[in-house]
Each structure stands twice: as structure tokens, then as C-alpha cells.
Structure 1
């Protein structure tokens, strides 16, 4: 992102605003990333493509082993026992294994029953965290709204540099801020509140006529990068820390399902946020204020998310350190 945004901006300015040459240069960095990924993750890419085949082979081998242990082997002479756990007759005349007792059968659940079990696996604290993040995501509309606003008040050749400023701040601050947030629930919530206030100031830079200039756009972009460093990785880890882990009867291991389910819900929220941002921008444009309605909506969303976080921290579960789910394999559920 850093390399692509910087080179695109410089190419656009040095070539007399040539879109063809700008996109050609901007394609270099994705190509480098693709080659690097294929070179360094070759085994993972190959294994990932054949994982279903491996699973099918394992199931066939398992079924074959079960069949050979319960049916006579025609290739062996009579009186020869097949390898495996020895069996003895119990009082009811049934065959029992001298090895470990068989595991109980998994319950067979229908689609609706699985959905019910899945929903009940999530604790109230998860839904509280998800509500805060979902409201915040209404301020995370597509960056093209920022570009459209910047296009009205600054030179188009400098617009890609806004992404550069944004990204540099995220790269520099995300890791140290995430370390601070990981120290305690209280530290995490305080950083999130600071991030919400920063995002309100960011929206003000793009919204107010006093900052409708190049300096205001760069200030807003810098504040956006600070907001993302303060909140993006922290909100993801916050929701993840309340996801259920372990094995749920009838569904299996639920960790991956919980992540996919959360991404699905937040995907719908992002789609809705872009729709709302577009309608608000059209409304303010039609009333003569310009396409700034999305920033007014973004500031409102951050305000509501902050108020909700304060309420749920004081009266809900988001302030309780003991509700953080431990890592898988640490003996915690």
C-alpha cells in the first residue's frame, strides 16, 4: 500500500496526469506481492487446493478399517484372527472391545437446530462487543468518498498522497498501540474511546468549510490513519476474544465458524454503511452543501459507538477482564 500509493502519486504528477501510466506503475507492487506470496507460501497454496481430496481419502481409509475389523477377511485362512483390539462376549452376547471405550455418537442436528446451537454458543458479551463494532463500521465507508471530497478542494495529482499519509501512520502506530490495548480491558476500552474522538475530528476536517483545502484534507487523512491505528486491530481482537472455542456437539469445532459468522455479519454492516453514506452525500449535495453528508453520518456513528461502549463497560460485560476467552489449547473454554 505504501509503495503503490507513493509511486502512483508521483507518476500521476510527473506524467502530466496520465491515468494510463499511473495504473501501469501502480500494478507493479501487486505483482511483486503476488510473486512473493507464491514463492514463500508454495506448500500452503498446494495443500489448500487438495485438502478436500486428502480428507476424502482419510474418510475412505477409516471406513475400510472399520469394515475389516467387523467382517471376516476372505484372504486369510480360517482360524486366523485379524489384527486389532481383541473382543469378548458380554452377558448379553454382544461383542465388546478390550481397548478404550467407544466415544459417544455425535447428535444428528438439522440446519435449524445447528443454527440455534450456534447462536446459543455466543455469550452476551460477544453480542455487546459486536454491537459497538457494527455501529463504528458505519463510519468506515469506502475511501472513495474521501477522494471525491478531496477532488473538490485540492489538486488531483496529490490525492494519492492522502493514502500514503494514512498508511504511514497506521504502520508506525498500530503495533505499539495494540500492545497497550492488550494489557487490560480498561486500557483497550480507553484507547477505543480515544479512537472514536479522533474519527469525529477526522470527519470534521472533511465536513467543515474551514478545512476545505489541501491542508485540511491531509490533516483529515492523518487523523484517519491515527483512528485506524487506535481501533482497527483492537476492535477485531476485542470481538475475537469473546468468540466461543472448543467443540460443540452436533457442529464440531466452532472456532473457525465463529470467525466466518462474524465476518459475514460485519460484511452486511459495511454494505449498509456505504449505502447510507451515499444517501447522506446525495442529500447534502442536493441542498447545496456538497457531498459531505457521509462525514456527518460518520461522526454521528462514532459518537453513538462511544456512548454505547461507555454504557456497556459500566453496566454490561465489556469491562470484565475475566470474560476474555483464553487461547485454544490452554484448557480454557
Structure 2
């Protein structure tokens, strides 16, 4: 496939979407990883990413909330929109300190319309259900997404942190182009069921946090530098008692992003960063060639049982808890 500035292109899924082989997770520019990056600096980084060939940009309406989409909307002016593949998500709402997951048709449509307005675009390239509403049969949510495709408001549909059964049921309503899940050397639980299901159905795989939320890029010193409001400080793997153990893994592993790239031509990692120098280093992982022996050595070092601490304090936010009721249970009013 064609390449831009050394970043190769890839087919994501089997529905026709083509993206850069490495994307950019944009969340950290606005939220959760400390203070938001100044807007002008963030836009400079986004333009640098695009100019160097990283054109697959990943955001969500909950990042900020909403401010990350607004940021991208500003960054994509003056011809940049035509150069990129834009992915955003819906499904998570925070209100009065409580999180709610929603997937009913009226909400799906309202969320899409709101994202289109904030991003200031006519169409979203890849629209994900960010988390699965376990109260609503996935067929109902997919039915509305299918309508949005038919209306030209979105081009392709994705799911994030969905179980294998949810993926199959959704795919039967309308083809799923990509499934996003956390995948790195220290998060490999998707390999048992999710990854094989995607490959069986021809669904692309988007790996978020491929650097272990920055751990494999900076090691334990990362936590010392985190702002007090950085949500990683609340994650089990970043607690001191687990960090001391996990430091051993960092000391032995320096090729973690390249490892994700080597998982297959259907895998697109989307590491996030707020610094241009880190972005350039991440792009460099595309040119790292690991031998089968080197891959095996990395995987031996970071075996699942060697990592201490869950991905999230509450694992209900993962594919392990994302099955929805049967379609027959849905009552229309």
C-alpha cells in the first residue's frame, strides 16, 4: 500500500477503510492524564502527526468531556480534514459523579449529531460504541448505527471493549469494521477469545494503550511525574505495591510498541502522547524488526501472571462484562 512520510498504510477490517498503520490516541491532549495541553501546542502536535503520516486520529465525546472533539474540530480546518481518518465514540455519560453507559437508539442518534457538530464535519469515518450498554440488546444499538451509515453521517461502525458474543451479534446486523481493546505486553486477555473472533469475521483490531498507558515508555518514574488529577494514579497497576514489582518488567522490555505492530497486518495501535519527540519515537517502532526469537523472549518476560494489578479498579468497564440481553427482551413503546 501507499506510504506517507515513512508511515505505511493498512486496511482496517474488510469493509474498505484504509488508515495509517499507527494511529494517534488523542485523549491525553485534553483529559485524564493531567492538565490539558495548551490548545496551540495540541494543534501543533496534531498537525505534525498528520504531516508525518499518522492520519488515523482517535477521540471520543467523553474526553473532556467534549473538549477533545472540539479541539480536533479546530485542528482539522484548512484542508487537514481531507488528510485524515477520523474515529470518535459514544456511549459513556458522566453526571453528578456517576458513570452511565447508554446504547438506546435515541441516545445513539443524539450523540452522533452532537459529535458531528463539535468536530464540525459532515461525516465520521469510524464511529465506535465506546462501552456496551448491557441493558440494551446490541441489535437495537446496531440498528440505529446502521441507519446512520445509510444516511451518510458515519462511514464505518466499531465497538470498544465488547465481548466475543456481542461482536458476533452486532456483526450480524451490520458489518463491524474495527474492535478497539486494550492490548499490550502486559494486557493480553483479549488474545483468548476477542482477537480470534475478530479475525474470523474480518474485523480490524485497534489496540489502545499499547505502551501500557505510558509505563513501557517511561517506566516507574512515570508515576512520580504524574499530576495529582491524572487518573492513572488510581489504577491498580500504578499503585506502589504493584509498581515495585512491575518495574522489573520495564527494566527488561524496551520494544513493546514494536511487539504490538508485529501481531499482524490487521492490528493498528493508537499510542497517545502530548509531546512531538515521543510521537516521533512511536513512529520509529514501525521500522523495528523483531525476530521470532525476540518476540518469544519478550512474551516470556511479560507473562500475564507476572503483572500485578488489574487494568481497571472496576473491571465492569471491559469486554469481560459486556454481554447484552437477547433481542426478544426489548420492549418498544
- Structure 1 length normalisation: TM-score? 0.19
- Structure 2 length normalisation: TM-score? 0.19
- Select the structure of larger CA radius of gyration: 1
Structure 1 or 2: larger strand share? 2
